[in-house]
Amino acid sequence: MEESVRQVIDGLSLPFFNDLIQNQDAISYSDSLQKPLVILRWRHRVCQTCSDSFDISREGRFYRCGRCLI
Ligand SMILES: [Zn+2]
């Protein structure tokens, strides 16, 4: 991992494992843009299509949940 990415993750004070930031409150794509280096590192995200939150380690891709990919 790049040092700049590591610094952003360290600054969040959230658990980090399996290459994902273990956030409890799902983050939206628009909010994720505030930290561009870690857009694809959040575990819980808000789907851009249906606005439901989902766990990227279980389903989905980018900011779209498993149901909305079909
Ligand atoms: Zn969805």
Domain boundaries, the chain: 3-69
Question: pTM for this structure?
Answer: 0.94
Measure 65 CA to ligand 1 centroid, in angstroms: 4
Task: Please say if the pLDDT value at position 66 is more than 90.
Answer: yes
Measure 7 CA to ligand 1 centroid, in angstroms: 31
* Radius of gyration, CA atoms only, the chain: 12
Encode pLDDT of 4-57 as tens digits.
999 999 999 999 999 999 999 999 999 999 999 999 999 999 999 999 999 999
Measure 26 CA to ligand 1 centroid, in angstroms: 13
Instruction: Give residue 16's Cα distance to chain centre.
Output: 11
Q: Are 47 and 53 in contact (CB under 8 A)?
A: yes
